[in-house]
Amino acid sequence: MKTQHLLLPFALLGMPTAAIPAASCWGYSGESAPENWSKLDPAFAACEKGVYQSPINIRNAIKGKLPPLSLSFTAKKNALVHNGHTLQINVADGDKLRLDNQDFTLQQCHFHMPSENLIDGKSYPLEAHFVYRNDQNQLAVVGVMFVKGEANTAIAYLLRNLPRQINVAVPLTAAFSLASLLPKNKSYYRFSGSLTTPPCTEGVRWLILRQPVELSAAQINAFSAALGIRNNRPVHPLHGRMVVTE
């Protein structure tokens, strides 16, 4: 299905869910909801048949010797786009994750409302996913949880630069760094999982930061209105997987 450009209201408040067209055949409600993804396309079979699927409820984490998280943010060419499924920051160059003695390069950062992963059964109003890829085409995702609290300057900047059309990107200035979306404490949980969207590919290395980042109630409401949909896939069983933490 070809995505149509949709002119978004300037204020983006109270935008109805129906105003957001699907960017492809899958979505989050009705016949295209997560429980039906595997029926929409043979390429999505893992969404039902996969064993190690994401998101999960993070609990009973095992203490392990996890190395400090090694992240670098140097990219200067970022852009914000609404692709019909999420608000996404596209990154052109530079940002790196050093993991398992390999370099992973940041591909994009996107958001889910409410959070997809849970921590000890707790849902968060917003979760950011930083998606990385290495030279072997393997994926790693760094997840950041957001909680209601003080206003967040990075979120405020994104809200001031919201795209007005689906799939039409808004360039972000060089002064904006994705590092501003991360907490100071980089301790994390680690587990193996999958993409949380079709084709639900497994073998993804998941790193969820333990310390959440604050944003205000007004920012939560504005971000929700800008997103226009609830875009969280339900949690999946661990099936024997271990969650490791520092």
- Give the span between the Cα atoms of 93 and 72, in whole angstroms: 12
Known catalytic membership, residue 112: no
CA angle (50 as vertex; 239, 189 as ends), nearest 5: 50
Query: What is the 8-class DSSP label of residue 9?
Result: P
Write the CB contacts of 54 (distance below 8 Å, at least 6 apart in sequence): 116, 117, 193, 194, 195, 196, 204, 206, 233, 236
Residue 61 identity (one-letter amino acid): A
Two structure tokens written together for 128 = 């950011």
Instruction: Evaluate whether 133 touches 112 at the Cβ level (below 8 Å).
Output: no
Task: Point out the catalytic residue in the list 82, 85, 112, 236.
Answer: 85
Give the residue numbers marked as catalytic: 85
